[in-house]
Amino acid sequence: MLMVADLDYILKRAVSEIISESELRTLLASGKKLRLKEGFDPSSPDIHLGHMVGLRKLRQLQELGHQVVLIVGDWTAQIGDPTGASVTRPILTAEQVKANAETYLQQFFKIVDKSKTEVRWQSEWFGKFSLADVIKLTSRFTIAQMLARDDFKKRFESNRPITITEFLYPLLQAYDSVMVEADIEFGGNDQKFNLLVGRELQSMIGQQPQQVFMTPILTGTSGIKKMSKSLNNYIGVAEPPEIILGKVMSINDDLIIQYFELLTDINDAELAEFTSAIRSSAINPMRLKKRLAQEILLQLYTEAEAREAAEHFERVHQRRELPTEIAEYRVSFSSLISADDSNVDIPSLLVSCGLIGSKSEAKRLISQGGVAIEGEKIKVDKASLTNGCVIKAGKRGFIRIINAD
């Protein structure tokens, strides 16, 4: 039997708002196997720790015997962003959607129990939609209701365009809830309007309105904006353990408590101790970050893999030793050297071997002292290389250069 303290933990910890909490508590006490809806946009194949906040809630409720229903937004992903203003909602082909979704699902099931998850694709119902169905759906809502959404309201008041298609997205998401008969829908607190539309549409057609379960938005590693791949301030759940640990160690100290609260199960008393210790400078924040990284890794990887990542960090970053395994990159040295210069263009090399994404990024890193050859930082873009030398780029990038001549 679920204890009240356990239920309070699920409904209070890492929760932004629940509509309606009293109704949800009644449902959870009823013994009914609830259908927990979570939708995702397969415009990107990767999940990061920001997504993990809500996925942990799904897992907690799964462990109480409830059913997760994962909606793959394959139909809306092929529409894209009608304004052309969003880089996170590009138009995708059916093949791209399927490829992204398969990768996403693999990562999703690192956190959520696959055996207790029902996967549904929007195209199951929207693939059969006719114009009459679209008109019938849109007739249930008014323009005034749509303009109640904050971003729509601001754009309308500033005379910026809003396409009719944009108004459709909340309705399509709501229709998903109708088709899977969702009891609870989960999302970030920035999704409140869309989640409430689903609740309203269900009531209109005679279904029990879904409960709306919103989780906080996790701040990205830069400490300013929300975690996002497009902002390059994310920690991916499928990244290697040593990369995840390294990124956690690099977060600002003022994010430590937020990450503990939203991403781990340490108890509230211990969380309060950590908060007090940070405020009084009674503990080195690095110790807490190491603990945080381990708590996160143990949810995604085995204990041995988490331990190896910690040992790698201490060896490479604290004792300044080289990793035990360094990838090799074979290249003809003669192809890197111009006729009038015996030095190698390092930015080009860093891009070609995959350590850096662009030459401009590589040049910036060099100017900041972030590139070293055999342990010696370089300040210029060209340098001489020896066969088997190790180049380090940034805090975690290592490559051994092998002369293929």
Query: Are the CB atoms for 138 and 84 separated by under 8 Å?
Result: no
**Strand stretches in 27-157, DSSP E:** 35-40, 67-72, 117-121
The number of angstroms, rounded, from the C-alpha of 211 to the middle of its chain's C-alpha atoms is 24
Cα-flanking dihedrals φ and ψ of residue 249, to 5°? -65, -20
Two tokens at 32?
């009914």
Helix %, strand %, coil % for the chain, to 5?
50, 15, 35
Cα dihedral: 42, 112, 234, 152 (round 10): 50
Secondary structure class of 18 (helix, strand, coil): strand
Q: 3-class DSSP state for residue 141? A: coil
Q: Is 359 annotated as a binding residue?
A: no
Rounded to whole angstroms, what are the CA distances from 204 to 34, 137, 176, 199?
20, 11, 14, 9
Q: How many helices, marked H, and strands, marked E, lie in the chain?
A: 19, 13
Cβ atoms of 101 and 179 closer than 8 Å: no
Sign, CA dihedral 189-195-196-199, equals negative
Residue numbers in the known binding site for ATP are 229
Residue numbers in the known binding site are 229
